Amino acid sequence: MTSSPHTLEDARAALHEHFGYAAFRPGQEAAVQSVLAGRDTLVVLPTGGGKSLCYQVPALMLPKLTVVISPLISLMKDQVDALEARGLPATFVNSTLSSSQISDRLARAVRGDVKMLYVAPERFDVGTTAERLRDAGVSLLAIDEAHCISEWGHDFRPSYLRIAQLREKLGWPPTVALTATATPHVRTDIVAQLKLESPTTIITGFDRTNLSYHVLPTKTDSDKDDALVHLLRSTDGLAVIYASTRKAVERIALLLERARISAAAYHAGLDDERRHGVQDAFMTEQVRAIVATNAFGMGIDKANVRLVIHYAMPGTLEAYYQEAGRAGRDAKPAACYLLHAFPDRFTHEFFIKGAYPDKALVEEVYDVLRRNADQSGGVDLSPDEIASRVKAKASGRDVESALRILTQAGAYGVAQEGSARVLVRLLATPERIKRELGSNDSMELGILRAMWRVAGAALSDGATIDLDGLPPGLGGSSGGMPLLDALQSRQFLEWRRAGSGASLTSAKKPLTAFHIDWAVIDRRRKNDLQKLDSMQQYAYTKGCRRGFVLRYFGDPAARTSCAGCDNCLGTRVDVEQGGAPSMRGPAARGKPKRRATSESDRVAAAEDAPTLSGADEAMLARLRDLRRTISKAESVPAYVVFPDRTLAEMAIRRPTSENALGEIRGVGPVKLEKYGERFLDVLRSADETEAA
């Protein structure tokens, strides 16, 4: 690995020029220095710690392309929108684009017209994308949400396991892996799975000193509804409420609207236009509360969220801490509440059981399928019908989980109506094929060879073939089916459409003929149950909640007490049936005490959280109005124009010249040129008596 000729001073200059910040945050500087030195790097920064700058700043300085692996379509689009708004050369490719758009963007990346290319890991599973990028030159590979690569992480994604192969295809470029939540075990796994070479590991404290943590014990949804409404009515500021299902999200949003608390629902079931509309309404503060599944929040830079409430217990502490971390990113005090009921656990156990079914059930389901398959392997049984025929006590949902394992192993499949999947059974012997077709390079021989490469000897028993997956010269389904007809008329084979039915790949094969790693399935089941246990222990602990979380993540800063959780504050919240929550204990008679901090903590907090007077608040409101107008006109989230922290500093300092405005954190040259005069007009028009 070769290092960059650029220095840390160059990086600070780039940070100020392109992003408007005078200095890096803790952890960022060490990460940037390691990346510029050409070293593999593992970065663990808390939510709101600015992970993206750890690769975005070096990307602008390195000579060739930076490839960024990102797991969410919405996340990569938001980050690219923010970069483009700053005039920085970045683009993304994902499934929302047409094939011509993807080709155009990849061509731009290969030509060197962009410095950062955001992609999902699945993009490299087929085609020659990796080879094209390697030939063009990749200076850096950045992997966001790197915990997804570890089966011990809280959001394991099998597609991430192939990133090590991608590194090899790209020519082993220096790699930076970034995450906000990783236990020591997960950090070790990330390094091993990615094959990082003696990486620099940068871990800043997990502790968010401005956040307070509370658990409200409840018994019913009615209790939770009462507690939720009470918390929102008794606490000022923006709020994010996390719920576990789409149905719950919709119901809770309606509940809040009926309680005259402006709220909007956000989940993956909404179409793109509606999701963007809801997100923008929250970012521009047209609604006070957003009720969401965990689909909301990734990469969202809304600094002034004062309250995060979990309506139901998440399945892992990683997920809880990441979502709770959406609060107080402006370094001002914010509160995180978990509305906990013991039955919340059952929901997670149900999903864990569905994700990792028992071996005995999978074997029984496969036996039922084999006994009821027709000659071509077709099976006309619903999951409930299969459940009624297995010896073990099982529901239709249990059978569905077993069928998923069989599908992943290649033993079973369901073809969609109108698909190119066909069931083919080879009748002719190799000798006959060679004798009658081998002397000419016919299309019939070509399709037989192609199907044999896919299915091998299984073709003699009958195999499912995707005609569109065969070499393009055979014409896909439209060209392949006439060839199959011709071969069938000469009794070389027999075939039929797979239709929309389910079928076994080969009903004659035992389950042992297919690869299923039962040890991995058992290990992941146990791991997920252990994580669920840790989450529930957090809810029930009588000790310091902050210390509990920090010990879980292996943070040496963990202590036995703090002044920022309900247990250490001595508060207890009781939710009585049909009534509002009541707080008891010494802290209930006054405001919660601030956690003791060091002088350096206080200085950092003062820099990140400017104090506004009444006149400053009025100016801030006018600046937000202008930002809202610009964001609507440009169809970008409000924070892409300027984040709240930048507007707050404008409201306090009241710059009247471009030079003075350019000194404010978050105002770089591109934004100064693009928006500067419009914001200066608002600042200059302020009544002189307002100025502090």
Assess if residue 607 is contained within a domain. Answer: no
Assess if residue 534 is contained within a domain. Answer: no
| 197 and 215 part of one domain | no
pLDDT recorded at residue 692 = 34
Assess if residue 604 is contained within a domain. Answer: no
pLDDT recorded at residue 396 = 85
Q: Which of 480, 515, 550 is the last residue of a domain?
A: 515
Average pLDDT of the chain? 84
pLDDT recorded at residue 13 = 92
Closest-CA residue to 231 (of 252, 202, 200, 207): 252
- Strand order of the β-sheet with 138-143 is 90-93, 116-119, 65-69, 138-143, 175-179, 41-44, 200-203
- Residue 603: pLDDT band with limits 50, 70, 90: very low
Closest-CA residue to 90 (of 73, 78, 103, 74): 78
d(CA 72, CA 119): 9
Q: In terms of pLDDT, which residue wins out, 427 or 591?
A: 427
Q: In terms of pLDDT, which residue wins out, 78 or 39?
A: 39
Neighbours of 367 (CB within 10 A): 15
Q: Which of 474, 499, 515 is the last residue of a domain?
A: 515
| 56 and 126 part of one domain | yes
Is the pLDDT score of 547 beyond 80? yes
Contacts of 209 (CB under 8 A, 6+ apart): 564, 595, 597, 601, 605
pLDDT recorded at residue 60 = 94
Q: Which of 151, 172, 203 is the last residue of a domain?
A: 203
Q: Poorest-confidence range of 110-119, 567-576, 601-610?
A: 601-610
d(CA 389, CA 364): 9
d(CA 441, CA 437): 8
d(CA 338, CA 549): 14
Is the pLDDT score of 576 beyond 60? no
Assess if residue 239 is contained within a domain. Answer: yes
| 411 and 374 part of one domain | yes
Q: Is 198 left (phi over 0), alpha (psi -120 to 50) or beta?
A: left
pLDDT recorded at residue 688 = 47
Number of domains in the chain: 4
Q: Poorest-confidence range of 121-130, 226-235, 382-391, 642-651?
A: 121-130
Assess if residue 536 is contained within a domain. Answer: no
Residue 58: CATH number of its domain: 3.40.50.300
**Domain extent for 175:** 8-203
Asked if 266 contacts 241 with a C-beta cutoff of 8 angstroms, the reply is no
d(CA 146, CA 176): 9
The answer to whether the predicted template modeling score (pTM) of the entire model surpasses 0.75 is no
d(CA 161, CA 155): 13
pLDDT recorded at residue 416 = 55
| 60 and 190 part of one domain | yes
| 199 and 218 part of one domain | no
| 127 and 229 part of one domain | no
| 217 and 273 part of one domain | yes
Assess if residue 352 is contained within a domain. Answer: no
Assess if residue 3 is contained within a domain. Answer: no
Q: What would the mean pLDDT of 609-625 be, rounded to a whole number?
A: 77
| 132 and 62 part of one domain | yes
- Residue 279: pLDDT band with limits 50, 70, 90: confident
| 285 and 247 part of one domain | yes
Tell me the DSSP string of 366-377.
HHHHHHT--TT-
| 321 and 390 part of one domain | no
Phi, psi of 546 (to 5 degrees): -60, -45
Structure-derived torsion over alpha carbons of residues 627, 631, 637, 640, reported in degrees to the nearest 10: -60
Closest-CA residue to 465 (of 479, 483, 475, 452): 452
Assess if residue 520 is contained within a domain. Answer: no
pLDDT one-digit tens code per residue, 214-269: 999 999 999 999 999 999 999 889 999 999 888 999 999 999 999 999 999 988 77
| 592 and 619 part of one domain | no
First vs last Cα of the chain: how many Å apart? 53
pLDDT recorded at residue 604 = 40
